Structure 1
Amino acid sequence: MVGRLSGKSAVVTGAAFGIGRATAERFAAEGARVIATDVQRDPLLALADELRGAGAEVETVVGDVSVEEDARRMIAAAAESFGRLDVLVANAGIIPLGDATEMTAADWDQVMAIDGRGMFLTCKFAIEAMVKSGGGAIVCLSSISGLAGQKRQAAYGPAKFVATGLTKHLAVEWADRGIRVNAVAPGTIKTERVNRLPEEPGGAEYLDAVQRMHPMGRLGEPAEVASAIAFLASDEASFITGAVLPVDGGFLAQ
Structure 2
Amino acid sequence: MSRVQDKVVLITGAATGIGAAAAVRLADEGATVIVTDVNESGGKAVVEQITAAGGTAEFLAHDVAHEDEWIRVTGHVREVYGRIDVLVNNAGIYLIAPLAETTLEDWNRLMAINVTGTFLGLKHVAPGMAEAGGGAIINLSSIAGLMGTAGHTLYGASKGAVRTMSKDVAAEYAAANVRVNSLHPTYVNTSMAAYGAQTAGVSLDDLGPALSPLGRIAETGDVVNFILFLASDEASYLTGSEYTIDGGGSTLLSLG
TM range, smaller chain: over 0.9
1:16-72 Cα deviation digits (max 9, x unpaired): 011111110111111100111001111111111111111111011102100111122
Deviations 1:173-217 (A, max 9, x none): 10001100011110110112223455x454326983574122212
Residue 244 (structure 1) aligned to one of 218, 238, 242: 242
CA contact (8 A) 2:23 2:35 kept: yes
1:235: Cα distance to partner? Answer: 0.4
Is residue 87–residue 137 contact of structure 1 (8 Å, CA) maintained in 2?
Answer: yes
Q: Distance in 2 between matches of 1:165 and 1:98?
A: 24
Aligned residue in 1 for 2:42: 43
Which aligned pairs between 1:21-100 and structure 2 lie closer than 5 A? 21-100=20-99
Bigger CA drift: 186-195 or 232-241?
A: 186-195
Does the alignment pair 1:221 with 2:206? no
C-alpha contact (below 8 Å) 1:10/1:78 kept by paired residues: no
Distance 1:73 1:27 in 2: 23
Superposition TM-score, scaled by structure 2 size:
0.93
SS in 1 for 2:100: coil
Q: Alignment identity in percent?
A: 38
Q: Name structure 2 gaps, 5 residues minimum.
A: none
8 Å contact kept, 1:197–1:207: no
Report the Cα offset of residue 81 of structure 1: 2.5
Is 1:157 the counterpart of 2:161? The answer is: no
Deviates further, 19-28 or 72-81: 72-81
Which residue does the alignment assign to 2:146? Answer: 147
CA–CA separation in structure 2 for the residues paired with 1:221 and 1:73: 33
Equivalences for residues 172-191 of structure 1 within 5 A: 172-191=171-190
Partner of 2:3: 4
Give the direction of change, closer, same or farther, for the CA distance of 1:45–1:205 in structure 2 (3 Å limit): closer
Are the counterparts in 2 of residues 94 and 115 from structure 1 also a CA contact under 8 Å?
yes
Aligned-residue Cα RMSD (Å) equals 1.7
Contact 1:48 1:59 in 2 (8 A): yes
Structure 2 residue 124 is the aligned partner of structure 1 residue 125: yes
SS of 2:202's equivalent?
A: helix
Q: After the TM superposition, list the runs of 4 or more consecutive aligned residues in structure 1 that deviate by more than 3 angstroms.
A: 200-203, 205-211
CA contact (8 A) 2:96 2:199 kept: no
- The answer to whether the Cα contact below 8 Å between 1:103 and 1:154 also exists between their aligned partners in 2 is no
CA distance in 1, matches of 2:60, 2:209: 35
Which structure 1 segments of 5+ residues have no match?
A: none
- TM-score by structure 1 length? 0.94
- Could you tell me whether the CA contact under 8 Å between 1:28 and 1:57 is conserved in 2? yes
* CA offsets 1:102-124 (integer angstroms, 9 cap, x no match): 21111111110000000000111
